[in-house]
Amino acid sequence: MLTGAIEKPWMTEKDRMATLSYWVVYLIAFLGVAGGAIRCYFTWKTTLHLGNLCLVMEDNFDTFDTKNTWTHEVSMSGFGNQEFEMATDSANNSYVRDGRLYIVPTLTSDVIGTDAVRGDPPFTYNITGCTDANATNCGAVSNISSKAVIPPVMSARIHTRGHYSIQYGRVEISAKLPRGDWLWPALWMLPVSDSKYGPWPRSGEIDIMESRGNGPEYKAQGVDYVRGSLNWGPFSWLNGVSKTFGWWTNRRKTFADDFHTYVLEWNEEFMRIYVDSRLTYMMYLRFNEPFFKRGGFPSVVANGSDYIALTDPWSNGTKNVAPFDQPFYLIMNVAVGGTNGWFPDGVGDKPWLDGSLSAMSDFAYEQSQWAPTWPENPEDRALVVDSVKMWQLC
């Protein structure tokens, strides 16, 4: 026989606060789910889409087609940034293996020796297969007494000009970035012609991806960051790039640890540059105002000792889109150093100053500082490209 009182909880009065807290939890959860669904819907609704696309070019690098797809640019010009590499067509600096393209920076001293790079004694080096129209960019003379050096790095720069270009569409590149101090990998585009708007940056530049090979500890965004941007402006010293750029960072790994997909989407309404997913975008720009207005350029500029009225160089182009209303071709390269500010002075033990007349020789003389940061295996310091695809709006 049971003795004592029997508990009957259903007979007790309910705790109203406990009941209220119970329903509040469910209400908050419901509001969270509903809010997320509404946000997803309106994000999808307002996302601009390209429209129908037709494949123009696809290269999975079963071979290295330098006749019908890619062209080497061979020069010691510094390419406007006073870069410290020479671009070659040597198989040491660009080659295809196992279905992947490798663009590899190498040390010039491994080919001609350190003394020749520094000019002890003076040494003349002419680059083979030079494609530069200016013959002075096809060779260099080193001299230790004047600190003139041969470019201390050899690398490669290839493009699709004359083969493939698009005006509005999509570009998709699967690539793994190089690691090493002062390396500057880039996937970018230039206009097929500058006859409509004029020389750079009037005719525009599209940077799908740029990065720096310095490690994550580098304070000016190293290899754990990638950046997308547009260059445009009336003059080289009056560039609106600061108004049209952005970046994405990989907080767990670097972009040299694995392959990522870098994408450009572009039509008359918008331009979008992202890595791997539209959610991880570097730059998203709506063409909702003229670029001349977007730049906020001054009405009058100095031209030597004279002052001239600044006019809109894109007034005869597509409204709000010019200069990005024309065909652009693709470029892939690995640069090294330079004096245009991509590597800021005073950051990361930078061994040269941008304003120095001896910037490249200062860099070359500090080879023992930066060369050890480059992986010994050339393929680990290469820009490795798995595939390239280009679509045009149909």
pLDDT, one tens digit per residue, over 332-373 is 999 999 999 999 999 999 999 999 999 999 999 999 999 999
Mean pLDDT for 126-140 is: 97
pLDDT value of position 226:
98
Of 2-16, 89-103, 108-122, 245-259, the least confident: 2-16
Token pair in block for residue 239? 């560039």
The whole-angstrom separation of Cα 170 and Cα 189 is: 12
CATH number of the domain to which 372 belongs:
2.60.120.200
Q: How confident is the model at residue 196 (pLDDT cuts 50, 70, 90)?
A: very high
Q: What is the total count of domains within the chain?
A: 1
210 is catalytic: yes
H helix or E strand, kind and range, residue 270: strand 270-275
The whole-angstrom separation of Cα 281 and Cα 274 is: 4
With a pLDDT cut of 70, the percent of the chain lying above it is: 94
Of 38-42, 110-114, 280-284, the least confident: 38-42
In a domain, residue 8? The reply is: no
Does 41 have pLDDT greater than 90?
no
The whole-angstrom separation of Cα 154 and Cα 103 is: 10
In a domain, residue 354? The reply is: yes
Instruction: Name the DSSP class of 220.
Output: T
Q: What angle do CA 19, 21, 27 make, to 5 degrees?
A: 105
In a domain, residue 106? The reply is: yes
Contact present, 71 and 104 (Cβ < 8 Å): no
pLDDT value of position 131:
98
Mean pLDDT for 189-217 is: 97
What residues form DSSP beta bridges with 227?
210, 247
The whole-angstrom separation of Cα 252 and Cα 97 is: 29
Sign of the Cα pseudo-torsion (362, 364, 370, 372, in order) = negative
Mean pLDDT for 20-47 is: 75
Which residue of the set 73, 83, 85, 210 is catalytic?
210
Contact present, 169 and 177 (Cβ < 8 Å): no
Does 13 have pLDDT greater than 90?
no
Across 116-149, b (16+ Cβ under 10 Å) vs e yields bbbbeeebebebeebebeeeebbebebbeeebbb
Does 4 have pLDDT greater than 70?
no
Across 188-208, b (16+ Cβ under 10 Å) vs e yields bbbbbebebbeebbbbbbbbb
In a domain, residue 3? The reply is: no
379 is catalytic: no
Domain span at 350: 49-393
- Locus of tokens 């946000």: 39
Does 7 have pLDDT greater than 80?
no
In a domain, residue 355? The reply is: yes
128-137 long-range contacts, CB within 8 A, separation 24+: 128/74, 128/88, 128/89, 129/72, 129/74, 129/88, 129/89, 130/74, 130/75, 131/71, 131/72, 131/73, 131/74, 131/75, 132/74, 132/75, 132/76, 132/77, 134/77, 137/75, 137/76, 137/77
Average pLDDT, the chain: 93
Residue from 186, 105, 111 nearest 153 by CA: 105
Token pair in block for residue 142? 């080193």
Q: How confident is the model at residue 22 (pLDDT cuts 50, 70, 90)?
A: confident
In a domain, residue 123? The reply is: yes
Sign of the Cα pseudo-torsion (41, 45, 50, 52, in order) = positive
Q: How confident is the model at residue 251 (pLDDT cuts 50, 70, 90)?
A: confident
How many Cα neighbours within 13 Å face the side chain of 153?
32
The whole-angstrom separation of Cα 286 and Cα 279 is: 16
Q: Helices (DSSP H) in 63-125: which residue ranges?
A: 109-112, 114-118
pLDDT value of position 125:
98
CB-based contacts of 358: which residues, under 8 Å, 6+ apart? 147
pTM: 0.89
Q: How confident is the model at residue 24 (pLDDT cuts 50, 70, 90)?
A: confident
pLDDT value of position 3:
59
The whole-angstrom separation of Cα 358 and Cα 19 is: 77
In a domain, residue 26? The reply is: no
pLDDT value of position 32:
86
- How crowded is residue 62: how many other Cβ atoms within 10 Å of its Cβ? 9
In a domain, residue 136? The reply is: yes
Identify whether 323 is preceded by a cis peptide bond (ω within 30 of 0).
Answer: yes
Which residue of the set 83, 85, 205, 265 is catalytic?
205
Sign of the Cα pseudo-torsion (32, 33, 39, 42, in order) = negative
pLDDT value of position 42:
56
Residue from 324, 394, 390 nearest 170 by CA: 390
Q: What is the tens place of the pLDDT at every residue in 266-314?
A: 999 999 999 999 999 999 999 999 999 999 999 998 877 788 899 999 9
Mean pLDDT for 131-154 is: 97
Largest CA distance in the chain: 114
